[in-house]
Homo-oligomer: A and B are copies of this chain.
């Protein structure tokens, strides 16, 4: 993947990419750090690595939560639209709604060009909902 994207193939990049592939869900930096365990990299390195993955189109910034960006591999996404993301307001977990389709928006003013459309949902997840009563 790295070579395909013409990126230098370095240890942090390989490890971070592996972690993201293994996790297969959106991750924020501190979650990556946990997954990387003893493979410790400076936070600057992680951010810069993610940025270069972004430029190469390998990952997307999926969403911002508690002021931290969550990144996910781009391979489940179409160019103009990722799958929707659902966040539980009670437990804070976020889930990718892969396979749920969202029509592109219509009726915009002329002159605007859309690069990307994103849908976010908030509510109660199955667990929290069943506990609620």
Q: Which residues of A are at the interface with B, using a C-beta cutoff of 8 A?
A: 64, 67, 84, 86, 89, 97, 99-103, 105-126, 129-130
Q: Knowing that A86-B112, A114-B122, A117-B120 are A-B contacts, what are 7 other residue pairs whose CB atoms are under 8 Å apart, sorted by A's residue number?
A: A86-B114, A105-B121, A110-B126, A111-B126, A112-B126, A112-B129, A120-B120
CB distance B113 to A84 under 8 Å? no
List chain B residues, Cβ under 8 A from A114.
Answer: 86, 121-123
Say whether, besides A64-B67, A97-B108, A108-B100, A123 and B130 are in contact (CB < 8 Å). no
Minimal Cβ-Cβ distance residue in B for A85: B118
Q: Are B116 and A121 in contact (CB under 8 A)?
A: yes
Chain B positions within 8 Å of A64 at CB level: 64, 67
A8 to chain B, nearest CB (A): 27
Closest approach, in angstroms, between the C-beta of A21 and any C-beta of chain B?
25
Q: B117, A124: Cβ atoms under 8 Å? A: no
